[in-house]
């Protein structure tokens, strides 16, 4: 209150308001024109009326407003720009400022801005989040404002010490207070403000009326303009408004002041002025309240979201009192859906709208048909939420999606009279006629398939070693339940095609899981365990094997698209192999003839095929069928691209070869981590089976010039091992295998065994098998057998005869096994020996050529080719220049003789054994 | 000269006699017109060569050195030698000539024969017939006519019989090498076959009487086991290695022949083309003549048909020579082994 009076009493430059109020000079120049202008268009008048000072100050206030807005949205770049403009504008206004003193609002913005910047500067977190431009602008602005503020130091400190007096809001508050007090004053005088107003409006004083009118108009105008500004810039704040107004008000006031002396006495004029002010303040106060309300309701909201949803939100609510019927809801739904896919549509808002619509529909008991219809659309728009294929759903969206589908399924199960299908036309839908079965357009199967794909995408895009992945993986159960429910639903209502598709989904979620329960049941015979427990376990669900069998068989029988059947077969084989049903798996693989035409399939199916082959190989290995294991794994392992072929990662090497697009496609093909096959296990299985095959083979064909390699990769590993300058104890899996191979070459099965099966290898490989101990014992036996074979191949030339008992002791195999192995070798003509039954010994025949004999044979062969070449030379000579080289014929005869000798040699070397 | 021990009697050690005899028989044909008919080696030289290999050579690496001595009539007496240092990569600028000269000068100071009469080289399973040997022996023989190369086979020596052979290039080969033309025609003209490339000169190892006496005494004292090396029956390794090497050479030979074959084919094809061209030309000329036009000018046929570069045949000759040596070796070796086997059999029977 004091302020009001102080402004009236003396002209302190400290407060901008009071300063303004008392300034009359600039207006004075216009005074003469005033009457003329009044008659003109009001807007024009308003503009012209402004003084230079007003203009400058308005400029400043506008800028300040923008800065404040920029501060609010933390747009430091904008702040910087505006601040620079402000500085310029201030420079322009210098002359006025010199007269008037520094305007309060100016000091205020400087102080605030500095505080704000310091605050930002301190907020390390926020700074990190800022984009580069903003961060740069921040540091620049901070420096600038520091420098700039040095000139205003005293003012700012003053402001800071006494913010109540200076701050505008406070000032306004003061004004309000003062208003109250002025009212009181007026009361004292016996005139209430309202009465005053009334009186005034009644007063016939033309000028005052005119003034009033004008003032009102102006208020209106300013309000309008404010509104406009609101819409245009969308960034006006209420307090700056008031500031502006204040500016205007003072203009009016001053004008009034100017005029007053001509018609009324000083005192009255002062009074009137006060009254006017009071009235205006009243107006303004109410207006401001309105504005504030508006701000709270619309303004703020609008600034965040952008205009569109605001427009939409209103219609959605349905005009009050509208009767909510099917048609209205459907209309609304269509209205919402029309925005779908359009640019600029807020997808999140759309989803919300749809959800609200569902609520409304259910509140109004519109029947399940409508709900189902809307649900379908919600799920669809959930899928639409991501703009492209590469990105995956956010967890909350995903959760929403799952819930939604579950609810949808609930409804569908609860209302068997609802027909859902993608082939139901929009027109023939029946959403509410309860007499007939409800028909809704939409395909639950597609939704579920899409959901499954989304799930895969989420899994692909989550770091497999994080807790997050585990969290996501927990949803897998939910996905499975949903698929199961849909399956049940479709089994009742769907076509065979649809059933096949949903079966495939089910299969895809089943085939890679090891069925521990079934495994346990198998291990413990039914009579061993307590009956109740058994039943319980059985009730929990059928064996996945049975399930797979049932689903796959259905697909085999009913499917008409090749792809689904192929996938089903592969999954079936995989499942068989995973559960060690080797013969079923192998037979299925062979019967399907997939190996012949898999290269024509699309990449995901090929990846599935590769996975199946690998699983088959590992299965064969577990069964001790090393040869089958080796053959199955050969294709995958020999390329050295197992990782890529199994869809378990991209190779860095070929990164340059493909472009961005291809890489994206390949990334989408990746198999989620929980389906991965352990690559080290794979390689180890391959190498060990290669070792078991290759080492005896190498021993058998040591001196054979044309021996082929069984496994290139294994040989590669051996060579790598040989190249090591210093052989330490093996570390990696490969080194273990190489070391074991070396031991095996010498027939030293114990060392070989200790290299293949030990702590390290157990941890790395063997423990990963479901029946690790069984595999290990199989492996030991294999090593013993193959070592025995290797030993016999390598050292048979040293023995005349060897007792089988000795062999049995050496390799810790029982006698019949040794017997059978040796018999097999003899039958296959790998070992030239015979068994002497009474003494249980192997008698060597020594018909194998010795090293020298082998060499001689090779030499003879080479000489043969040499002679052939030589003859060709001579044929040439003879053919063309028969007579010319006659004397060379001697050489030819010699060659003939030589050849004979060669032939003789061959005979000799043949008779040698 | 004083260091040379003049032996009166025939003083070849027993061990070297077999090789010497074998060499003599073979060398007979070639050495007829040679300047050197016999090589007499001092025991010291043999020991020095063996020692050199023992200390520096291993595996396929060869050791080389210079022989010093005198020519007496048609007999080359080698009385001393010194080794070349092993080539290593750090001293690439090692000057061999400088080294030799200095070495000989120093030896002269201690009154040793300083006449350069050839060089020696060790060998790995008898593989010495190479281009490098040919080239250096050619330069030796070109400078000093009487030069020989001594080939020392350490592996055979280790089996109990000293294997030391002296070789010289035949005068025919010397001529061809002087021409430096190894085309098929030149070789044919020179009448050189692989058998006529090297001539072996018989070797006699000569020791002083005192040494001979010592030898006899040592022989009496030595245990029987020390002499058993010669009777070793383990032959497979040596034979295998030789066969392996032989096979490699045969492969090389094969390749060489294929190369030659292609050349022959190309040449004959070209000849045919040339022939056709000439015929056509002739016909045209005849026609022109009948029409009374002047004949076409003569063209340089060699420009039209560039003759193919004939492959050098020296390498294949050398390979053939090497194969020959291998075969000799094997033959020798197997013959000896057969003898040993029969002996062993007889012993076995006798014992039983």
DSSP A573-615: HHHHHHTT-HHHHHHHHHHHTHHHHGGGS-HHHHHHHHHHHHH
Q: Average pLDDT per run of 10 along chain A, which is 913 residues long?
A: 45 43 43 42 48 74 80 76 78 72 75 78 69 75 77 74 53 45 44 45 46 48 45 42 46 46 49 56 52 44 40 47 67 73 68 77 71 78 70 78 83 76 65 65 80 84 84 85 85 82 86 79 55 47 78 85 86 89 89 83 87 90 88 84 80 63 76 85 89 87 71 86 81 87 88 87 83 88 90 85 89 90 88 86 79 82 86 70 44 42 40 40
| B271 contacts in chain A (CB < 8 Å) | 880
- Interface residue of A849, A867, A873, A888 to substitute, partner B, most B CBs within 10 Å: A873
- Asked if B271 lies within 8 A of A866 by C-beta distance, the reply is no
Q: Is A221 exposed, middle or buried (0-12, 13-18, 19+ CB in 10 A)?
A: middle
Instruction: Answer with the one of B192, B207, B226 that is the final residue of a domain.
Output: B226
Q: What is the pLDDT of residue A270?
A: 52
Structure tokens at B68: 């010093």
d(CA B197, CA B172): 8
| A851 contacts in chain B (CB < 8 Å) | 236, 240
- Interface residue of B242, B250, B270 to substitute, partner A, most A CBs within 10 Å: B250
A/B interface, count of CB pairs below 8 Å: 45
Hey, which residues does A378 pair with through a beta bridge? none
DSSP 8-state class, residue A623: T
Which of A856, A866, A872 comes nearest B243 by C-beta?
A: A856
Please tell me whether residues B343 and B275 are part of one structural domain.
yes
Please tell me whether residues B173 and B274 are part of one structural domain.
no
Query: B268: nearest CA in chain A?
Result: A880
Q: Distance, in angstroms, between B246 CA and closest chain A CA?
A: 8
d(CA A888, CA B184): 12
Please tell me whether residues B337 and B208 are part of one structural domain.
no
Q: Is residue B72 part of a domain?
A: yes
Q: Is A9 exposed, middle or buried (0-12, 13-18, 19+ CB in 10 A)?
A: exposed
| A865 contacts in chain B (CB < 8 Å) | 254
Q: Is residue B130 part of a domain?
A: yes
Structure tokens at A840: 């249980």
Which CATH number belongs to the domain containing residue B77 in this structure? 3.40.140.10
- Asked if A852 lies within 8 A of B246 by C-beta distance, the reply is no
B268 touches chain A (CB under 8 A): yes
Residues listed for chain A: 913
Q: Distance, in angstroms, between B64 CA and closest chain A CA?
A: 32
- Asked if A869 lies within 8 A of B258 by C-beta distance, the reply is yes
Instruction: Answer with the one of B195, B226, B257 that is the final residue of a domain.
Output: B226
Q: Is residue B323 part of a domain?
A: yes
d(CA B170, CA B176): 10
Which of B236, B244, B261 comes nearest A850 by C-beta?
A: B236
Backbone angles phi, psi at B164, to 5 degrees: -140, 120
- Asked if A859 lies within 8 A of B240 by C-beta distance, the reply is no
- Asked if B257 lies within 8 A of A873 by C-beta distance, the reply is yes
d(CA A525, CA A521): 7
Task: Give the pairing of strands B203-206 and B38-42.
Answer: parallel
Task: Give the pairing of strands B164-169 and B148-152.
Answer: antiparallel
A845 touches chain B (CB under 8 A): no
Query: A866: nearest CA in chain B?
Result: B254
pTM over 0.90? The answer is no
Q: Is residue B19 part of a domain?
A: no
Q: What is the pLDDT of residue A658?
A: 63
- Asked if B240 lies within 8 A of A865 by C-beta distance, the reply is no
Range of the domain at B346: 233-288+306-351
Q: Distance, in angstroms, between B334 CA and closest chain A CA?
A: 12
Q: Distance, in angstroms, between B294 CA and closest chain A CA?
A: 34
A339 touches chain B (CB under 8 A): no
Helix, strand or coil, per DSSP, at residue A73: coil
Please tell me whether residues B218 and B331 are part of one structural domain.
no
- Who's near A673: CB < 8 A, 6+ residues apart? A459, A464, A469
Instruction: Answer with the one of B173, B207, B226 that is the final residue of a domain.
Output: B226
Among residues 236-265 of chain B, which lie with CB inside 8 Å of chain A?
A: 236, 239-240, 243-244, 246-247, 250-251, 253-254, 257-258, 260-261, 264-265
d(CA B252, CA A666): 51
| A880 contacts in chain B (CB < 8 Å) | 268, 271
B345 touches chain A (CB under 8 A): no
Task: Give the pairing of strands B116-122 and B64-72.
Answer: antiparallel
pLDDT band at B213 (very low <50, low <70, confident <90, very high): very high
Which has more confidence, B99 or A4?
B99
Please tell me whether residues B176 and B240 are part of one structural domain.
no
Please tell me whether residues B214 and B283 are part of one structural domain.
no
Output the 3-class SS for A321-337.
CCCCCHHHHHHHHHHHH
Helices in chain B by DSSP H: which ranges?
14-30, 43-56, 96-109, 131-143, 154-158, 171-179, 184-189, 209-221, 236-291, 301-304, 314-351
Q: What mean pLDDT comes out for the span B303-330?
A: 82
Nearest to A347 by CA among A392, A371, A380, A303: A380
- Interface residue of A858, A876, A892, A908 to substitute, partner B, most B CBs within 10 Å: A876
- Asked if B261 lies within 8 A of A863 by C-beta distance, the reply is no
| B240 contacts in chain A (CB < 8 Å) | 851-852, 855
- CA of A707: how far to CAs of A59, A325, A631, A699, in Å? 95, 86, 19, 11
Among residues 315-344 of chain B, which lie with CB inside 8 Å of chain A?
A: none
| A873 contacts in chain B (CB < 8 Å) | 257, 260-261, 264
Please tell me whether residues B103 and B250 are part of one structural domain.
no
| A872 contacts in chain B (CB < 8 Å) | 261
Q: What is the pLDDT of residue A820?
A: 92
Please tell me whether residues B110 and B251 are part of one structural domain.
no
Q: Is residue B262 part of a domain?
A: yes
Please tell me whether residues B170 and B144 are part of one structural domain.
yes
A856 touches chain B (CB under 8 A): yes
Q: Distance, in angstroms, between B239 CA and closest chain A CA?
A: 7
Query: B185: nearest CA in chain A?
Result: A885
Helix, strand or coil, per DSSP, at residue A702: coil
Q: What is the pLDDT of residue A251?
A: 46
Q: What is the number of structural domains in chain B? A: 2
Q: Distance, in angstroms, between A852 CA and closest chain B CA?
A: 5
DSSP 8-state class, residue A537: H
The CA angle A732-A733-A735, to the nearest 5 degrees, is 65
Q: Distance, in angstroms, between B268 CA and closest chain A CA?
A: 7
- CA of B88: how far to CAs of B92, B93, B119, B121, in Å? 7, 10, 20, 17
The CA angle A213-A216-A218, to the nearest 5 degrees, is 105
| A866 contacts in chain B (CB < 8 Å) | 250, 253-254, 257
| B261 contacts in chain A (CB < 8 Å) | 869, 872-873, 876
Q: Is residue B164 part of a domain?
A: yes
- Asked if A859 lies within 8 A of B254 by C-beta distance, the reply is no
Long-range contacts of B20-27 (CB under 8 A, 24+ apart): B20/B202, B20/B203, B20/B204, B20/B205, B22/B332, B23/B165, B23/B166, B23/B200, B23/B201, B23/B202, B23/B203, B24/B202, B26/B200, B27/B199, B27/B200, B27/B201, B27/B202
Please tell me whether residues B54 and B181 are part of one structural domain.
yes
Contact by Cβ (8 Å): A711, A758 = no
Please tell me whether residues B208 and B242 are part of one structural domain.
no
Please tell me whether residues B100 and B192 are part of one structural domain.
yes
Query: From the CA atom positions of chain A, what is the Rg in Å?
Result: 48
A876 touches chain B (CB under 8 A): yes
Structure tokens at A581: 């049903």
Q: Is residue B26 part of a domain?
A: no
| A855 contacts in chain B (CB < 8 Å) | 240, 243-244, 247
| A869 contacts in chain B (CB < 8 Å) | 254, 257-258, 261
Q: Is the pLDDT of residue B341 over 70?
A: yes
Q: Is residue B277 part of a domain?
A: yes
- Asked if B240 lies within 8 A of A851 by C-beta distance, the reply is yes
- Interface residue of A702, A850, A862 to substitute, partner B, most B CBs within 10 Å: A862
């Amino acid at each position: 209150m004091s302020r009001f009076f102080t402004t009236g009493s003396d002209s302190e430059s400290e407060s901008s308001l009071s300063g303004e109020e008392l300034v009359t000079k600039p207006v004075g120049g216009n005074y003469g024109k005033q009457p003329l202008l009044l008659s003109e268009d009001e807007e024009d008048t308003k503009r012209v009326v402004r003084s230079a000072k007003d203009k400058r100050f308005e400029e400043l206030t506008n800028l300040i407003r923008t800065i404040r807005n920029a501060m609010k949205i933390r747009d430091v770049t904008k702040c910087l720009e505006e601040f620079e403009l402000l500085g310029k504008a201030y420079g322009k206004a210098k002359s006025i400022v010199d007269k008037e003193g520094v305007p309060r609002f100016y000091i205020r913005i400087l102080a605030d801005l500095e505080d704000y910047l310091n605050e930002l500067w301190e907020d390390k977190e926020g700074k990190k989040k800022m984009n580069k431009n903003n961060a740069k602008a921040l540091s620049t602005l901070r420096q600038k404002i520091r420098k700039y503020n040095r000139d205003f130091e005293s003012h700012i400190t003053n402001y800071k010490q006494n913010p109540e007096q200076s701050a505008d809001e406070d000032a306004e508050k003061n004004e309000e207070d003062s208003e109250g007090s002025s009212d009181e004053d007026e009361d004292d005088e016996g005139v209430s403000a309202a009465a005053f107003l009334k009186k005034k409006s009644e007063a016939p004083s033309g000028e005052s009326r005119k003034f009033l009118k004008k003032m009102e108009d102006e208020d209106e105008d300013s309000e309008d303009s404010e509104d406009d500004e609101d819409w245009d810039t969308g960034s006006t704040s209420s307090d700056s408004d008031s500031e502006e107004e204040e500016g205007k008000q003072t203009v009016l006031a001053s004008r009034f002041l100017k005029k007053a002396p001509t018609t009324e006495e000083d005192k009255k004029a002062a009074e009137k002025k006060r009254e006017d002010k009071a009235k205006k303040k009243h107006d303004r106060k109410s207006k401001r309240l309105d504005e504030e309300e508006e701000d709270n309701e619309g303004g703020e909201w609008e600034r965040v979201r952008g205009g569109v949803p605001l427009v939409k939100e209103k219609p959605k609510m349905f005009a009050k009192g509208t009767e909510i019927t099917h048609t209205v809801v459907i209309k609304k739904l269509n209205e919402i859906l029309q925005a779908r896919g359009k640019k600029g549509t807020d997808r999140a808002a759309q989803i919300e709208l749809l959800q609200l619509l569902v609520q409304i529909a259910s509140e109004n008991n519109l029947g399940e048909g409508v709900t189902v219809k809307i649900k379908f659309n919600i799920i669809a728009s959930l899928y639409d939420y991501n703009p492209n294929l590469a990105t995956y759903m956010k967890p909350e969206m995903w959760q929403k999606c799952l819930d939604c589908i579950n609810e949808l399924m609930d409804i569908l199960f609860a209302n068997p009279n609802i027909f859902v299908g993608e082939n139901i036309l929009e027109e023939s839908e029946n959403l509410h006629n309860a007499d007939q079965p409800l028909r809704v357009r939409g395909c639950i199967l597609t939704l579920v398939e899409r959901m499954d794909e989304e799930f895969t995408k989420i899994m692909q895009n989550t770091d497999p070693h994080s807790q997050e992945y585990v969290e996501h993986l927990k949803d897998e159960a939910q996905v499975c339940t949903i698929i199961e429910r849909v399956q049940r639903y479709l089994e009742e209502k769907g076509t065979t095609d649809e059933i096949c598709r949903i079966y495939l989904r089910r299969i895809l979620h089943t085939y890679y899981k090891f069925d521990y329960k079934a495994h346990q049941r198998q291990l413990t015979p039914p009579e061993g365990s307590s009956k109740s427990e058994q039943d319980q376990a059985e009730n929990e669900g059928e064996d996945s094997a049975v399930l797979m069998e049932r689903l796959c068989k259905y697909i085999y029988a009913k499917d008409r698209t090749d792809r689904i059947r192929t996938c089903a077969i592969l999954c079936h084989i995989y499942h068989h192999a995973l559960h060690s049903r080797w013969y079923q798996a192998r037979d299925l693989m062979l019967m399907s003839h997939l190996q012949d035409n898999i290269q024509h399939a699309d990449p995901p199916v090929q990846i599935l095929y590769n996975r199946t082959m690998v699983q088959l190989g590992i299965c064969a290995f577990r069964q001790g069928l090393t040869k089958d294991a080796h053959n199955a794994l050969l294709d995958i392992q020999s390329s050295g691209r197992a990782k890529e072929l199994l869809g378990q990662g991209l190779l860095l090497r070929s990164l340059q070869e493909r472009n961005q697009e291809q890489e994206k496609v390949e990334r989408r093909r990746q198999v989620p981590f929980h389906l991965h096959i352990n690559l080290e296990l794979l390689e180890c299985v391959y190498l060990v089976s290669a070792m078991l095959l290759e080492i005896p083979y190498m021993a058998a064909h040591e001196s054979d010039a044309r021996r082929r390699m069984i496994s290139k990769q294994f040989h590669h590993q051996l060579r790598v091992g040989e190249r090591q300058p210093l052989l330490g104890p093996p570390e990696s899996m490969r080194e273990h295998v190489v070391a074991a191979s070396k031991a095996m070459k010498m027939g030293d099965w114990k060392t070989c065994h200790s290299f293949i099966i030990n702590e390290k290898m157990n941890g790395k490989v063997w423990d990963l098998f479901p029946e690790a101990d069984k595999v290990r014992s199989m492996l030991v036996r294999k090593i013993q057998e193959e070592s025995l074979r290797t030993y016999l191949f390598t050292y048979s030339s040293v023995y005349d005869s060897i007792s089988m008992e000795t062999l049995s002791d050496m390799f810790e195999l029982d006698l019949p096994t040794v017997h059978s192995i040796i018999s097999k070798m003899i039958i296959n003509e790998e070992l030239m020996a015979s068994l002497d039954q009474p003494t249980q010994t192997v008698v060597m025949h020594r018909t194998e050529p010795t090293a020298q004999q082998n060499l001689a044979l090779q030499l003879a062969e080479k000489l043969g080719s040499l002679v052939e070449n030589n003859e060709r030379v001579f044929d040439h000579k003879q053919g063309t220049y028969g007579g010319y080289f006659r004397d060379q014929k001697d050489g030819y005869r010699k060659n003939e003789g030589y050849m004979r000798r060669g032939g003789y040699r061959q005979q000799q070397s043949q008779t040698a054994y | 000269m004083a260091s040379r021990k003049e032996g009166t009697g025939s003083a070849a050690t027993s061990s070297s006699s077999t090789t010497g005899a074998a060499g003599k028989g073979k060398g007979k044909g070639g050495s007829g017109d040679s300047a050197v008919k016999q090589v007499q080696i001092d025991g010291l030289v043999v020991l020095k060569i063996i020692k050199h290999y023992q200390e520096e050579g291993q595996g396929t690496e060869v050791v080389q050195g210079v022989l010093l001595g005198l020519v007496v009539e048609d007999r080359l007496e080698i009385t001393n030698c010194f080794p070349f240092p092993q080539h290593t990569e750090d001293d690439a600028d090692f000057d061999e000539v400088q080294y030799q000269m200095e070495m000989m000068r120093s030896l002269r100071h201690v009154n040793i024969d300083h006449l350069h009469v050839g060089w020696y080289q060790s060998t790995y399973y008898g593989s010495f017939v190479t281009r490098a040997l040919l080239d250096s022996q050619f330069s030796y023989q070109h400078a000093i006519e009487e030069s020989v190369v001594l080939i020392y086979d350490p592996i055979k020596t280790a089996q109990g019989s000293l294997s030391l052979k002296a070789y010289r290039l035949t005068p025919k080969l010397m001529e061809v090498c002087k021409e430096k033309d190894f085309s098929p025609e030149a070789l044919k003209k020179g009448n050189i076959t692989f058998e006529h490339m090297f001539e072996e000169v018989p070797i006699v190892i000569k020791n002083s009487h005192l040494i001979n006496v010592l030898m006899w005494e040592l022989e009496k004292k030595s245990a029987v086991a020390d002499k058993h090396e010669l009777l070793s029956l383990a032959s497979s390794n040596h034979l295998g290695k030789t066969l392996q090497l032989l096979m490699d050479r045969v492969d090389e030979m094969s390749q060489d022949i294929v190369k030659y074959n292609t050349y022959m084919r190309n040449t004959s094809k070209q000849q045919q083309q040339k022939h056709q061209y000439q015929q056509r030309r002739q016909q045209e000329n005849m026609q022109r003549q009948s029409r009374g036009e002047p004949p076409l000018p003569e063209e340089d046929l060699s420009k039209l048909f560039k003759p193919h570069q004939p492959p050098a045949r020296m390498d294949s000759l050398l390979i053939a020579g090497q194969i020959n040596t291998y075969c000799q070796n094997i033959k020798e070796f197997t013959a000896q082994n057969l003898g040993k086997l029969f002996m062993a059999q007889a012993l076995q029977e006798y014992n039983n």
